[in-house]
Amino acid sequence: MATKKITFDPDAGVPVASNLTIYGGANFNANFNVVDTSNAAFDFSGAGTTWTGSSQMQKSVGAGSTTVPTATFNVGFTSAAGGKFALTLASTATTSISEGRYLYNVLVSSGTTTYNIVNGDILVYQGISSAPT
């Protein structure tokens, strides 16, 4: 999947929208390059700060409905100083996700402060064939 460039402004309090696609039975990897409002790489390692990330997806449902998360992504900072992180799911996880439209978000935390940095739709397609094992 292509790398998505997003601008993160912690003071804005608004996540960036970015839609994704998952193909069932395939490894999923979405890379994000995060820049600040001056278009410089957002430093997730600056000033001795430890940042963590979490992300889940759930089936798109009507207003007021709640559902259990469908999947939990691995969030890894591939270059914390360079503002880069990736969302991943193994093929074993994508195989069990039913085709359809889902919602997701990515949260990043520093200390006790949590930011919703990106969210959007995920379209899941199940293949009609699979690779030999």
Give the residue from 31, 7, 4 showing the smallest Cα distance to 115: 7
Provide CATH code, domain 4-126. 2.60.40.10
**pLDDT digits over 28-44, tens only?**
999 999 999 999 999 99
Q: What SS3 state is found at 77? A: strand
Which residues, 6+ apart, have CB-to-CB distance to 1 below 8 Å? Answer: 20, 21, 28, 29, 30, 31
**pLDDT digits over 42-59, tens only?**
999 877 778 999 999 998
Q: What SS3 state is found at 22? A: strand
Please tell me the pTM assigned to this model. Answer: 0.87
The predicted pLDDT at position 64 comes to 59
Domain limits, the chain: 4-126
